[in-house]
Structure 1
Amino acid sequence: MKDLIQRIRTDWQFLIVAVTTAAVGLNFLAHPGLLDDHSAYAFIVSVLDDAVFSVPISVGGIIGIMTFIIGWVPARIPLLVFYQFVWIILFFAYIWRTFNGYPNSTWIMALAINVMIFLVALWGDEDVG
């Protein structure tokens, strides 16, 4: 347990990305039709609300959490690539809707998470492992 607490203190960025990704995927999975409200998010409803998208991002986030807990650092690179892919899709979907007359601020969150994933991939392994 002491090792896990130390890992959280020195590598919290990766854990946040993994937990956020898992939470978004599980939220889409638990609430089918969540985005089907013909508002700012209607553009992506056919993709995001489907298990084809929600299950892989949920599983990817959960795998990231599990590999973090056990300290398996080699899994980070493919997971960060996957997380970047998921969050860049979300960013482009939300920003596209903003430019098409459905203002929302979710694109800001998605952009911030993309930047964080990039920085974790760039600098995040300095104190890990």
Structure 2
Amino acid sequence: MNLNDLKFEDGLITAIAQDCKTGEVLMVAFMNKEALRKTIETKRGYYWSRSRRKLWKKGETSGNEQIVHDILIDCDADAVLLKIEQIGGACHTGYRSCFYRTIDDKIVGEKLFEPEDVYKK
């Protein structure tokens, strides 16, 4: 599939990172064409930060990178699913997955690191 065949809305496409062994959904982010192209080329997770308005490589600061094993496109071509091997935590808050709490705010995920120890300014 050509990247131009994908449906980027306002230049972005939804990207879901899923553990390739367990099936656990680890995070949801956005990619622009450059992020998706770099992910395909390097087999590492690259994303577009909407808040910082820049491209970022998962793990560039924390060391918690993603090794991409496969990339799937959904039926509408408006989302991608990255089957990944996560090194360390996927969530910037220190949890293995960004989906670490219930709707009632009960913590159900595993905390792997303290953010202040990893993201030093």
Of structures 1 and 2, the one with the larger relative CO (CA 8 A, separation 6+) is 1
* Greater per-residue strand proportion: 2
Q: TM-score when scaled to structure 2?
A: 0.29
Q: TM-score, normalised by structure 1?
A: 0.27
The structure with the larger Rg is 1
